[in-house]
């Protein structure tokens, strides 16, 4: 089940059911479905510049097509690369024949999958389709589900979407993301649960395509080569037909979603005691990405990791297929190298899928550096960070202070031992070592905090990360750009942020389990997630801060976004003291208290009956929850937050 059975299409479909067998599911052609009743309300067809591929022998075309189906991207890369290598050679236009241009494609059925809540998806896949099956039986379960739906209607109209390389040898990738043809579909339920889902198709009248000048003869020839048999998941039912077709369209989308987002190549290679529980975790991960619980930049990291995994697997398959005889020593080493890359990426993806390990990315220690501790001679050094050091800079220091001047913040941090102080004068700085804070030091700015700007390095995942017992940053501006972790991550120990400005681009301040944060007289703004995220078992003191314009990540369904300016994840509950903070203009709640799932209860029965979902506004219940959670909040001002000031929610 490592390879897909569909050509890469416009929505990155990389798999299909029944991939273990090759028996086609087809039926003899019959009377055509009447197409004249359909109105062409879809995207208008347009002419493109491309070179039609000569029709070749069936075996050769099928081999090329299988190779295309392995590609994980939305478009085949081969033709684009070839075109780039021959930039001097213009692309010929598709030949014009003595025929009318193709009509625009009719609109396809809109899938109700997009509007499903996560519990509806879980119920559909875990309770209805998979029904506690094992991973190795997932194909059979999906096949059974789909074949039952196909009994509703054995003939219908659909748009066949396939890879442009099937039709063209050279083309502009941006102009042809896919080739779509209106076809009449004939299908019958398959006889074997392991057979590949294929259907018989023929060009429907009137001839319609997303490419106005595609030759009708070319389409007929290619369908002839394919014996008019194409993968079912490449066909999308169009609107304007019987109501049963909507059920067929939903079933097809259910199967596509499973192989696109829920299935992993390693599933049937590993034993899982509860496969449906694993599928539920993947649904939760997908929903967390969609609703913004996992901020956009971090979601992009997961998607890139998954895409890289798929690419590496394809590379290994292709490399092995090119070895004709017994592999040489060099070839064997290369195979093992590619294999171990796949294993590593597989491990990272598994950590993402485990809710307990996910946190705000694959949950492994960001800091591998050991603590230096104190210097052997017991003295501490004050490090001056400035292009030029003057006597005026050190006039307030005692005469017995040991000084060291640096024009680079990174060098200053690298020279620090526990007890040292780093004094930064106005300017703009970058320092990779801010993500490696292990010793107890003080980093403070001198002058206006807005003039002491420390920016993140866009090529790195992390900005400021600490596992020191006690580290302090004061009188600074931290400007996040490009990094995807929290602007500040307290991995362990205690961190103090005092009189700082934190301008976020990814997530805000993250306090991981067992760590502690003291945040005073500071400003946090611009976080795509919460301004401050407290993970289970963490501790925080927030006093006299401004937290505003956070949770800025746009989502397709804003009602599902539950992060606040301050967000607490419970089990076990974090400890929080908040005094005189101003929390305003955040895109969700001012303060949110999040339970990971509804089966975990952190309060008494009154909360379990509904308050956790955010539906009840009973202040008595809320007070009881806050007391149970060790929350000490007084004199805070929350206003103009889009969804309200404080809410208890479940994901």
Indicate the DSSP class of residue 101: P
Q: Minimum mean pLDDT among 76-80, 440-444, 524-528: which range?
A: 76-80
Rounded Cα distance between 621 and 399, Å, is: 59
Instruction: Please count the CA atoms within 13 angstroms of the CA of 176 that sit on its side-chain side.
Output: 32
Rounded Cα distance between 383 and 379, Å, is: 13
Between 160 and 198, name the one with better pLDDT.
160
Query: Which tens digit of pLDDT belongs to each residue from 635-650?
Result: 899 999 888 888 877 6
Query: Which tens digit of pLDDT belongs to each residue from 539-584?
Result: 999 999 999 998 876 544 444 456 678 888 766 677 889 999 999 9
Between 174 and 574, name the one with better pLDDT.
574
Of 561, 557, 559, which is closest to residue 527 (Cα–Cα)?
561
pTM: 0.52
Indicate the DSSP class of residue 5: S
Q: Kindly state the helix (H) or strand (E) to which residue 221 belongs, with its residue range.
A: helix 216-225
Residue with token string 């060009």: 203
Token pair listed for 285: 């991960």
pLDDT at 182: 94
pLDDT at 619: 56
Of 533, 529, 631, 540, which is closest to residue 588 (Cα–Cα)?
529
Token pair listed for 78: 């081969």
Q: Phi/psi at 242 (nearest 5 deg)?
A: -65, 160
Of 595, 590, 507, which is closest to residue 292 (Cα–Cα)?
507
pLDDT at 181: 92
Cα distances (Å, whole numbers) of residue 304 to 299, 307, 483, 508: 9, 5, 15, 22
Q: Where are the alpha helices (DSSP H) in 105-154?
A: 118-122, 138-150
Q: Residue 61's Cα: distance from chain center in Å? A: 34
Decide if 133 contacts 274 (C-beta within 8 A): no
Of 310, 362, 361, which is closest to residue 529 (Cα–Cα)?
361
Walk across the sheet containing 402-406 and list its strands.
402-406, 381-385, 421-424, 442-445, 470-474, 494-498, 516-520, 539-543, 575-579, 631-634
β-strand 229-231 against 539-543: which pairing, if any? unpaired
pLDDT at 579: 93
pLDDT at 422: 96
Decide if 592 contacts 564 (C-beta within 8 A): yes
What number is the average pLDDT over the span 166-170? 79
pLDDT at 41: 47
Instruction: Give the largest CA-CA distance in the chain.
Output: 100
Query: Which tens digit of pLDDT belongs to each residue from 321-352?
Result: 888 888 888 888 888 888 888 888 888 888 77
Cα distances (Å, whole numbers) of residue 107 to 212, 233, 256, 307, 457: 16, 17, 19, 29, 45
**483 pLDDT band (50/70/90 cuts)?**
confident
β-strand 644-650 against 546-548: which pairing, if any? unpaired
Of 539, 534, 599, 541, which is closest to residue 566 (Cα–Cα)?
534
- The alpha carbon torsion through 527, 348, 570, 548 (nearest 10 deg) reads 0
Q: Kindly state the helix (H) or strand (E) to which residue 85 belongs, with its residue range.
A: helix 78-85
Decide if 596 contacts 569 (C-beta within 8 A): yes
Of 512, 550, 513, which is closest to residue 638 (Cα–Cα)?
550
Asked whether residue 630 carries a pLDDT value surpassing 90, the answer given is no
What number is the average pLDDT over the span 469-476? 96
pLDDT at 475: 96
Could you tell me which residues come within 8 angstroms of residue 59 by beta carbon, excluding any fewer than 6 positions away?
none
Cα-based angle 176, 177, 178 (whole degrees, multiple of 5): 90
Query: Which tens digit of pLDDT belongs to each residue from 271-294?
Result: 777 888 888 888 888 887 777 666
Q: 3-state SS of 272-314?
A: CCCHHHHHHHHHHHHHHHHHCCCCHHHHHHHHHHHHHHHHHHH
Asked whether residue 600 carries a pLDDT value surpassing 60, the answer given is no
């Amino acid at each position: 089940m490592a390879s897909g059975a569909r050509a890469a299409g416009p929505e990155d479909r990389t798999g299909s059911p029944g991939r273990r067998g090759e028996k086609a599911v087809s039926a003899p052609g019959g009377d055509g479905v009447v197409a004249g009743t359909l109105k062409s309300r879809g995207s208008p067809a347009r002419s493109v510049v491309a070179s039609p591929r000569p029709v070749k022998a069936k075996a050769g075309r099928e081999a090329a097509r299988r190779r295309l189906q392995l590609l994980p991207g939305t478009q085949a890369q081969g033709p684009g690369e070839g075109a780039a290598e021959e930039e001097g050679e213009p692309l010929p236009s598709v030949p014009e024949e003595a025929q009318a241009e193709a009509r625009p494609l009719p609109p396809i059925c809109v899938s109700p999958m997009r509007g499903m809540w996560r519990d509806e998806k879980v119920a559909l896949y875990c309770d209805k389709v998979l029904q506690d099956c094992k991973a190795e039986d997932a194909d059979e379960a999906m096949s059974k589900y789909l074949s039952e739906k196909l009994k509703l209607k054995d003939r219908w109209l659909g748009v066949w979407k396939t890879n442009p390389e099937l039709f063209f040898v050279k083309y502009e990738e941006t102009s042809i993301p896919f080739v779509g043809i209106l076809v009449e579909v004939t299908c019958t339920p398959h006889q074997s649960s392991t057979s590949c889902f294929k259907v018989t198709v023929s060009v429907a009248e009137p001839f319609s395509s997303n490419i106005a000048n595609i030759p009708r003869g070319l389409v007929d020839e290619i369908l002839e080569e394919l014996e008019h048999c194409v993968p079912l998941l490449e066909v999308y039912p169009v609107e304007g037909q019987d109501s049963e077709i909507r059920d067929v369209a939903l079933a097809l989308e259910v199967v596509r979603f499973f192989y696109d987002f829920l299935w992993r190549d390693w599933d049937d290679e590993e034993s899982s005691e509860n496969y449906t529980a694993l599928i539920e975790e993947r649904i939760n991960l997908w929903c967390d990405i969609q609703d913004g619980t996992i901020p956009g930049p971090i979601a992009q990291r997961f998607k890139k990791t998954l895409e890289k995994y798929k690419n590496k697997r394809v590379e290994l398959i292709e490399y092995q297929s090119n070895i004709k005889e017994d592999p040489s020593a060099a070839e064997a080493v290369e195979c093992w190298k590619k294999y171990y890359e796949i294993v590593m990426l597989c491990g990272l993806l598994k950590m993402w899928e485990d809710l307990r390990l996910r946190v705000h990315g694959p949950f492994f220690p960001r800091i591998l550096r050991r603590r230096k501790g104190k210097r052997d001679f017991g003295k501490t050094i004050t490090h001056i960070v400035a292009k030029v050091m003057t006597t005026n800079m050190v006039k307030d220091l005692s005469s017995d202070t040991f000084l060291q001047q640096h024009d680079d913040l990174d060098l200053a941090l690298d020279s620090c031992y526990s007890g040292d102080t780093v004094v930064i004068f106005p300017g703009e700085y970058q320092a990779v070592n801010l993500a490696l804070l292990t010793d107890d030091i003080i980093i403070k700015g001198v002058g206006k905090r807005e003039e002491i700007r420390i920016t993140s390095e866009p090529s790195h995942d992390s900005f400021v990360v600490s596992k020191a017992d006690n580290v302090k940053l004061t009188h600074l501006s931290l400007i996040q750009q490009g990094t995807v972790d929290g602007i500040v991550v307290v991995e362990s120990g205690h961190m103090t942020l005092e009189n700082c400005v934190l301008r976020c681009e990814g997530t805000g301040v993250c306090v991981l389990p067992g760590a502690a944060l003291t945040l005073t007289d500071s400003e946090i703004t611009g976080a795509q997630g919460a301004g401050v995220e407290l993970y289970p078992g963490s501790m925080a003191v927030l006093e006299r801060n401004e937290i505003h314009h956070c949770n800025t990540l746009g989502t397709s369904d804003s009602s599902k976004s539950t992060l606040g300016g301050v967000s607490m994840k419970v089990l076990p509950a974090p400890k929080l003291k908040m005094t005189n903070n101003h929390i305003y203009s955040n895109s969700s709640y001012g303060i949110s208290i999040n339970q990971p799932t509804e089966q975990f209860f952190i309060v008494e029965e009154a909360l379990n009956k509904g308050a956790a979902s955010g539906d009840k506004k009973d202040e008595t219940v809320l007070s009881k929850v806050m007391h149970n959670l060790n929350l000490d909040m007084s004199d805070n001002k929350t206003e103009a937050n889009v969804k309200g000031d404080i809410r208890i929610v479940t994901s």
